[in-house]
């Protein structure tokens, strides 16, 4: 009788454990790098998350992070299963962990899956080119941001004046623009969508960066291949424009892209990191 009771208890515990693991596999987390405040990002990405929930027939929670570094780490350590990443974030992780991340799709912006950054200065300032900023104060956004760090730093290097400037990281594109408007810095790089908010209100664009492949929805290394395929199919075939226009009004869908599409950015990152430090 005693042995029978012990056996029943063990079977019950094993059943619960298996049940919990099965339940866990039906729960996913969607992460977004913190280019806006968490509540804003949650609102922007809710239609996409709800769409993926329906397509995958699972529950998906939203998760942001206090900085780009943690957002990237969450993806690799399994705290996040799917993530919306900037191109630099993806390029860095794919370079560090080749083949571990799988691309779901890149966003399509106005029919293209490439985009450019812009370098801004204060409206009314005498600066009209990168070269004019020799010896000046430069504002960068997040250290891992494509358009508020890597692109503008590379432009300064290409102009031969990077070693003459002083700089500081301010965390976000909006912070860069506002710091320049308030005269705290002379110039900085940001995304065009943010620049558009402040053009005519205190900033002017002096140069546009080279094109880079767009932001991507990526799938972490702990997600099975069947789910990866379902996510890719769902993104490429999405019909409801609200799914992507809620992220950004100018988005027109998702495109299939390859890891090799980000090779030029990987090389740029290595050049910048060698001078800027990691």
Total domain count, the chain: 2
Pick from 173, 194, 210: which residue ends a domain? 210
Pick from 168, 189, 210: which residue ends a domain? 210
Query: Do residues 7 and 107 share a domain?
Result: yes
Query: Do residues 49 and 144 share a domain?
Result: no
* In-domain check, residue 75: yes
pLDDT, residue 35, reads 84
* In-domain check, residue 192: yes
Are the C-beta atoms of residues 180 and 187 closer than 8 Å to each other? yes
Query: Do residues 9 and 106 share a domain?
Result: yes
Query: Do residues 100 and 235 share a domain?
Result: yes
Query: Do residues 127 and 97 share a domain?
Result: no
Query: Do residues 70 and 180 share a domain?
Result: no
Mean pLDDT of the chain: 91
Q: pTM higher than 0.85 for the full model?
A: no
Query: Do residues 201 and 253 share a domain?
Result: no
Query: Do residues 198 and 100 share a domain?
Result: no
Query: Do residues 165 and 200 share a domain?
Result: yes
Are the C-beta atoms of residues 120 and 195 closer than 8 Å to each other? yes
Dist. CA 116–CA 69, nearest whole Å: 23
* In-domain check, residue 152: yes
Tokens of 153: 């730093």
Are the C-beta atoms of residues 150 and 272 closer than 8 Å to each other? yes
CATH number of the domain residue 145 falls in = 3.40.190.10
The pLDDT tens digits for 67-109 are 889 999 999 999 999 999 999 999 999 999 999 999 999 999 9
pLDDT band at 1 (very low <50, low <70, confident <90, very high): low
* In-domain check, residue 270: no
Mean pLDDT value across residues 163-171: 97
Query: Do residues 79 and 178 share a domain?
Result: no
Evaluate if residue 16 carries a pLDDT over 70.
no
* In-domain check, residue 145: yes
Evaluate if residue 185 carries a pLDDT over 70.
yes
Collapsed DSSP state (helix, strand, coil) of residue 112: strand
The pLDDT tens digits for 6-15 are 444 444 444 4
Task: Report the alpha-carbon angle 145-147-149, nearest 5.
Answer: 55
pLDDT, residue 277, reads 79
Q: Cβ neighbours of residue 154 under 8 Å, at least 6 residues apart?
A: 209, 268, 271, 272
* In-domain check, residue 101: yes
Are the C-beta atoms of residues 45 and 189 closer than 8 Å to each other? no
Query: Do residues 233 and 205 share a domain?
Result: no
Collapsed DSSP state (helix, strand, coil) of residue 148: helix
Query: Do residues 74 and 152 share a domain?
Result: no
* In-domain check, residue 92: yes
* In-domain check, residue 275: no
The pLDDT tens digits for 21-64 are 333 357 999 999 988 889 999 999 999 999 999 999 999 999 99
Domain housing 180:
117-210
């Amino acid at each position: 009788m005693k042995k029978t009771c012990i056996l029943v208890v063990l079977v019950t515990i094993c059943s619960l454990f298996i049940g919990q693991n099965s339940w866990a596999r039906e729960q996913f987390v969607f992460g977004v790098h913190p280019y806006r405040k968490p509540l804003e990002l949650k609102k922007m990405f809710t239609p996409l998350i709800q769409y993926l929930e329906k397509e995958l027939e699972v529950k998906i929670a939203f998760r942001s992070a206090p900085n780009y570094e943690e957002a990237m780490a969450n993806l690799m350590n399994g705290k996040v299963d799917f993530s919306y990443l900037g191109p630099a974030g993806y390029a860095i992780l794919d370079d560090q962990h080749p083949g571990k991340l799988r691309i779901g799709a890149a966003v399509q912006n106005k029919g293209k899956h490439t985009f450019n950054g812009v370098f801004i200065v204060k409206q009314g300032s005498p600066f009209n080119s990168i070269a004019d900023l020799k010896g000046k104060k430069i504002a960068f956004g997040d250290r891992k941001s494509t358009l508020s760090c890597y692109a503008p730093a590379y432009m300064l290097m290409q102009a031969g004046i990077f070693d003459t400037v002083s700089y500081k990281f301010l965390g976000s594109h909006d912070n860069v623009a506002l710091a320049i408007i308030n005269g705290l810095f002379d110039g900085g790089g940001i995304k065009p969508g943010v620049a558009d908010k402040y053009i005519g209100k205190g900033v002017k664009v002096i140069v546009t960066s080279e094109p880079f492949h767009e932001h991507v929805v990526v799938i972490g290394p702990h997600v099975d291949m069947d789910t990866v395929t379902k996510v890719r199919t769902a993104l490429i075939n999405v019909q409801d424009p609200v799914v992507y226009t809620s992220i950004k009004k100018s988005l027109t869908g998702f495109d299939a892209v390859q890891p090799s599409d980000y090779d030029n950015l990987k090389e740029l990152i290595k050049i910048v990191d060698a001078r800027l430090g990691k």
